[in-house]
Amino acid sequence: AQSVAQPEDQVNVAEGNPLTVKCTYSVSGNPYLFWYVQYPNRGLQFLLKYITGDNLVKGSYGFEAEFNKSQTSFHLKKPSALVSDSALYFCAVNDDYKLSFGAGTTVTVRA
C-alpha cells in the first residue's frame, strides 16, 4: 500500500522566515503526491500536487514543494511565512483513487 509520513507534529517559525513542512513517502510505482491545508473548523484546501515532470512544484498562496526521488521526500516550502499560514498541513498520496494522508503537521507562525 502507498503511504506518507510527516515526521514533525509541529513546526514553529517567525513571520518572514522560510517555512518547511516535511513529508516522506513509500510507494510502489509512480508517486502521486498532494499537499492540503486545513484551517480550524474548515475542510481541506488543495495547495499543490506532484504527478510527473519538474521536481519543483508551485502551488497556491506562494507555496511550493520539492520532489526528491532519492530521498523519497516531498517537502512543502514557503520562502517567507505569514501569520495567516498558521494551520494544519497534510501530505497525501493517491492510492488507487483514494487519498492516504499523513498525520498532519501543525504550523504556527509567530508575529
Partner 1 sequence: KAGVTQTPRYLIKTRGQQVTLSCSPISGHRSVSWYQQTPGQGLQFLFEYFSETQRNKGNFPGRFSGRQFSNSRSEMNVSTLELGDSALYLCASSLRTPATDTQYFGPGTRLTVL
**What cell numbers appear for 46 in the block?**
488543495
Interface residue with partner 1 among 17, 26, 45, 68 (CB under 8 A) is 45
CB nearer partner 1, residue 96 or residue 111: 96
Interface residue with partner 1 among 26, 46, 69, 108 (CB under 8 A) is 46
Q: What is the biggest distance separating any 2 CA atoms in the chain, rounded to whole angstroms?
A: 42
Rounded Cα–Cα distance for residues 62 and 88 (Å) = 16
Interface residue with partner 1 among 74, 90, 107, 109 (CB under 8 A) is 90
Interface residue with partner 1 among 20, 24, 100, 106 (CB under 8 A) is 100
Interface residue with partner 1 among 10, 28, 54, 96 (CB under 8 A) is 96
Rounded Cα–Cα distance for residues 54 and 30 (Å) = 14
E strand spans, 15-103: 19-21, 24-26, 33-38, 44-50, 56-58, 64-68, 73-78, 87-95, 98-101
**What residues between 47 and 66 interact with partner 1 by CB under 8 A?**
49, 51
Binding site for partner 1 (CB under 8 A): 32, 34, 36, 41-46, 49, 51, 90, 92, 94, 96-104
